[in-house]
Amino acid sequence: MFSLSSAPRRHRAARFGIPAVLTAAAMLLTGCSTSDAAPSPEDLGPLSKYLSAMYDEEEYTQEKFEAEQGNIEELVAECMTEEGFEYLPNVQSGNFYSPSEDGEDTGPDWGSQEFAENYGYGIIDYPGMEESNQQAEEYNDPNEEYTSSLSEKQLTAYYNALHGPGPNDEEMLAMEEGDGSYAYNWETAGCYGAAQHEAQGESGSSQDAYEDPEFAELFASMQDVWSVLYDENSDNEVVAKLNSEWQECMAEAGFTEYPSPNAVTNALYEEQNELYNSTSEDGEYQEPSKEARDEFKQREITIATADFACKKDLKYDAKIMTEQFELEQAFVDANKPALDALISKYSPKNDKK
């Protein structure tokens, strides 16, 4: 049963609340490489192979996503009832994206030169965005009528019970900086956090492994394996040299303000946030003009195209991936007993025996 006695707070809509350290390897490998050198983006590094054993090998489909989400919503409704509120399960809460079976997705491949030339990094525009916006416009909140009946004080209590109060200023800063100091905690994530945690437990989620004190030190040190690859001030010789060469290349293209590829996207996302967070003189939200969006998109495309060319010339992605694999192998060699214990305890294959 649910209880907010331990003050569950803040909802985080991921799949579902999986820590970054558990998905970092996969995220690093999903991009399309700009060079023809090995290893390929489809390869898994030594550490990534270990972690992949913690996931169910069955294909993750829209149907499976909807079943999991339906379970979570029912648990949320139960929790909110216990907290004294009405809540109707919201089965419109999201979609799981997967490439079409025939491989013919709308638009160019993400990370390709064609994508950069047409969409930049996919920040302000991307293939299928119009359809996504249309779906958002058609969205109907089943709880809107109930929440509209609540006073301001009641509504605050409602959302505190549902999602938690949200991160404080210090936690927000840690998330924005991505320094790894902020850790999601389901116990401070309201009914959604509790529901996701229970649903993950039922499905044997790797979240349980991350929350296991036995492996806390292992996961903490694991974070450094990948973060060093994308730290703007990385002291890794390979990464620092590549970023320096990349910075020189970008400067020749007219972009001198970015110390690394990661700094580019971070800066552009911050600019996009400012663009969409503007308000009118009376304090009301003000949608950015088409001219402002078009100007942002064109600049994004120009930067992304130069970025792609520099990475391709330097074989940046392949060299970073080679370094990643070496770092992963060193970590595996140094921590193999602990990794074996982790997989032995949390592999879905073991649960099915």
pLDDT value at 350 more than 80: no
Mean pLDDT to the nearest integer, 247-273: 95
Average pLDDT, the chain: 80
Banded model confidence at residue 320, pLDDT cuts 50, 70, 90: very high
Q: How does pLDDT run across 266-299, given as a tens digit for each residue?
A: 999 999 999 988 766 776 778 889 999 999 999 9
Per-residue model confidence (pLDDT) at position 60:
59
Residue 318 has pLDDT above 60, yes or no: yes
What confidence score (pLDDT) does residue 37 get? 46
What backbone torsions phi and psi does residue 17 show, to the nearest 5 degrees? 75, 20
**Residue pair 244/254 in contact by the 8 Å Cβ criterion:** no
What percentage of the chain has pLDDT greater than the value 70? 72
Lowest mean pLDDT, pick from 28-37, 200-209, 289-298: 28-37
- Does residue 25 surpass a pLDDT of 50? no
- How high is the pLDDT of residue 198? 86
